[in-house]
Chains A and B, each alone.
Chain A
Amino acid sequence: MSANILTVLTKFYDEYQKNTPQRLKIIDAYLGYIMLTGIVQFVYCALVGTFPFNSFLSGFISCVGSFVLAVCLRVQVNPSNKSQFYNLSPERAFSDFIFASIILHLVVMNFIG
């Protein structure tokens, strides 16, 4: 059983390294960073308690929101999805990402207290 999982994971990792374009790997690195920050915040809240609940929510939502927006960007920019997004250029996808990020961070700054 474990041998199977290990071979699957190794194969997955090799495929990923060989076949993913560099751009997507940059986005993946960014996603990993966001996830780390989100996990750290959540563990801190679980330990210390929810005292300034609005601050916790805004910090956590900022991580979750950024993660979602970055995933959307990756999906729209991925060349293998070109058939589904035929009238959406990568530049358009990126500008949507930036616009939505601005609105997200505006809301977060207001709510963080």
Chain B
Amino acid sequence: MAAAVGAIVMLALMVICSSVHGAGRTLVLLDNMAMKETHSIFFKSLSDRGYDLNFKTADDPSLKLINYGEFLYDHLVIFAPSVYEFGGNVDVAAITNFIDGGGNVLVAASSDIGEPLRDLGAECGIEFDEDKTAVIDHLNYDVADDGQHTLIVANTADIIEAKTVVGEKATSPVLFRGVGMTADPDNPLVLDVMHASSTAYSFYPDENISEYPHAVGKNTLLLAALQARNNARVVFSGSVDLFSDEFFQAPVQKASPGSKKFPLSGNQNLAVALSKWVFREQGVLRVGQVKHHKMGESTPPVAYTVEDDVEFSIVIEKLAGDKWVPFDGDDVQLEFVRIDPFVRTTLKRKGGKFFTQFKLPDVYGVFQFKVDYNRVGYTHLYSATQVSVRPFQHTQFERFIPCAYPYYVSAFSMIAGVFVFSLVYLHHKEERKEKAE
């Protein structure tokens, strides 16, 4: 009896425990299981933060991302650059579907890149270079390079300055060995996280240059990030070695004479910060309560009237750890829009509540209070509240128009004039001319 109760309690506990870790279910696809050891520091940093890692090889026939319409994982890590075809039910369409469902993906490629990864990049707006090409930089390669100048040193100046995406400003350069990417600079969703220096290019290391390289100079992306419109995040890295233990622990020194030697590369800090961003630990915002009302009242009216004084407030929170704390941005703007914005102000902040007061324009119609916050590294906030603004009632106009006072005065003076004139006219006695007799 006690044993049965005990068993039920244990089962309940296990269910609760598994649901607590539910937000960190991660599928890690590798080329071969040896990569679990070569990238152990990175994976340890993930599991230390509470992620439930499931390691599988990329062509495992039992792979499944979705089961009966529900996603089995929240995050996907693909450290399988040379995969020829994903196994099981996973393919590029399934991964794209996973991103559309809100899942985050971290993809790392290398010079041995396979078609599936190139297709996946193309779906997200990133073009990987061909298989067997590498990013080559004859002026910025490390001393440990094997002669082909493909182990390049990415300067800290070539990393994006966004604290939410890459953490604090790097102090050491980053080591990179892999394939280059390009993205359309007009793509509003793709972030250039790290690009190569202007002396780099992407081509086959063993061949003479016979055609224009796929990527040249600063257009060569080494790390690219995409935040989709549903706020799912995808990071593409041209180098899976960037996340390896070897690069985390390696010193960095450019092979040009007189360059500084850094005892430790910036790879680990960058990789950990990226993983925090891509798995939505950092830079995640949400909108809380939105309130609007006339000044002096506390509930919104059925319809506002033209030229009312209105107060608007919105609560924005940021995810810190697993708590939501008030957001501390100072550039959140409100637009009062009827097709075009009539009013655009910056909201003032008190704690996590952003508020402002303004006077409605002298235009009636159906308007929206729009807060559209789109900043690098943060989730895209969009909050629209629709209200109607009606014109003045017949009795709400001013009774006497000041600039028409002369007309009022003249009309009344005409009336007074008739009165005075008729008095004078009627009481006037005609002087009789004295007829001389």
Is A105 in contact with B407, judged by CB distance below 8 angstroms?
Answer: no
A55 with B404, Cβ < 8 A, contacts A26-B428, A94-B425, A98-B422 known: yes
For A60, list chain B residues within 8 Å (CB).
Answer: 407
Per-residue CB contact flags for chain B residues 406-419 toward chain A (1 = under 8 Å, else 0) read: 11101101110110
Is B418 in contact with A58, judged by CB distance below 8 angstroms?
Answer: no
B339 at interface, CB cutoff 8 A: no
For B403, list chain A residues within 8 Å (CB).
Answer: 48, 51-52
A62 with B411, Cβ < 8 A, contacts A40-B406, A52-B401 known: yes
A101–B411 Cα gap in the complex (Å)?
Answer: 12
A41 with B407, Cβ < 8 A, contacts A34-B417, A55-B401, A98-B422 known: yes
For B426, list chain A residues within 8 Å (CB).
Answer: 94
Is B411 in contact with A109, judged by CB distance below 8 angstroms?
Answer: yes
A85–B176 Cα gap in the complex (Å)?
Answer: 116
Per-residue CB contact flags for chain A residues 88-113 toward chain B (1 = under 8 Å, else 0) read: 00000010001001000100110011
Main secondary structure of the interface of A (DSSP, over half): helix
Is A26 in contact with B410, judged by CB distance below 8 angstroms?
Answer: no
Is A37 in contact with B413, judged by CB distance below 8 angstroms?
Answer: yes
Considering the complex, give the chain A residue whose CB is closest to the CB of B425. Answer: A26
Nearest CB in chain A: distance from B417 CB, A: 6
B421 at interface, CB cutoff 8 A: yes
For A44, list chain B residues within 8 Å (CB).
Answer: 406
For A34, list chain B residues within 8 Å (CB).
Answer: 414, 417
A76 at interface, CB cutoff 8 A: no
B431 at interface, CB cutoff 8 A: yes
A105 with B418, Cβ < 8 A, contacts A22-B430, A26-B424, A112-B411 known: yes
Nearest CB in chain A: distance from B415 CB, A: 5
For B424, list chain A residues within 8 Å (CB).
Answer: 26
For B421, list chain A residues within 8 Å (CB).
Answer: 26-27, 30, 70
Chain A interface size, under 10 / 10 to 19 / 20 to 34 / 35 or more: 20 to 34
For B411, list chain A residues within 8 Å (CB).
Answer: 58-59, 62, 105, 108-109, 112
For A40, list chain B residues within 8 Å (CB).
Answer: 406, 410
Per-residue CB contact flags for chain A residues 30-46 toward chain B (1 = under 8 Å, else 0) read: 10011001101100100
Q: Which of A29-84 contact B (CB under 8 A)?
A: 30, 33-34, 37-38, 40-41, 44, 48, 51-52, 55-56, 58-60, 62-63, 66, 70
Considering the complex, give the chain A residue whose CB is closest to the CB of B410. Answer: A59
Is A51 in contact with B401, judged by CB distance below 8 angstroms?
Answer: yes
A112–B421 Cα gap in the complex (Å)?
Answer: 23
A40–B415 Cα gap in the complex (Å)?
Answer: 17
Considering the complex, give the chain A residue whose CB is closest to the CB of B413. Answer: A37
Nearest CB in chain B: distance from A92 CB, A: 14
Most buried by B among A21, A62, A98: A62
Nearest CB in chain A: distance from B436 CB, A: 18
For B401, list chain A residues within 8 Å (CB).
Answer: 51-52, 55, 113
Is B410 in contact with A37, judged by CB distance below 8 angstroms?
Answer: yes
Considering the complex, give the chain A residue whose CB is closest to the CB of B401. Answer: A52
Per-residue CB contact flags for chain B residues 258-285 toward chain A (1 = under 8 Å, else 0) read: 0000000000000000000000000000
Nearest CB in chain A: distance from B431 CB, A: 7
Nearest CB in chain B: distance from A34 CB, A: 7
For A22, list chain B residues within 8 Å (CB).
Answer: 428, 430-431
Is B430 in contact with A55, judged by CB distance below 8 angstroms?
Answer: no
Is B417 in contact with A59, judged by CB distance below 8 angstroms?
Answer: no
A55 with B415, Cβ < 8 A, contacts A22-B431, A23-B425 known: no
For B410, list chain A residues within 8 Å (CB).
Answer: 37-38, 40-41, 59, 62-63
- Cβ-neighbour of A62 out of B414, B425, B431 (below 8 A): B414
24 inter-chain pairs at a CB distance below 8 angstroms, sorted by A residue, are: A21-B430, A23-B428, A23-B430, A33-B417, A34-B417, A37-B410, A41-B407, A48-B403, A51-B401, A52-B407, A55-B404, A55-B408, A58-B407, A58-B411, A59-B406, A62-B414, A66-B414, A70-B421, A94-B422, A101-B418, A105-B411, A108-B411, A112-B408, A113-B404
B-side residues, CB < 8 A to A, are 401, 403-404, 406-408, 410-411, 413-415, 417-418, 421-422, 424-426, 428, 430-431
Pairs A-B, 10 closest by C-beta atoms: A59-B407, A55-B404, A55-B407, A52-B404, A30-B421, A59-B410, A62-B414, A62-B411, A101-B418, A52-B401
Given contacts A60-B407, A112-B408, 7 further A-B contacts (CB under 8 A): A21-B430, A23-B425, A26-B428, A52-B403, A56-B404, A59-B406, A66-B414
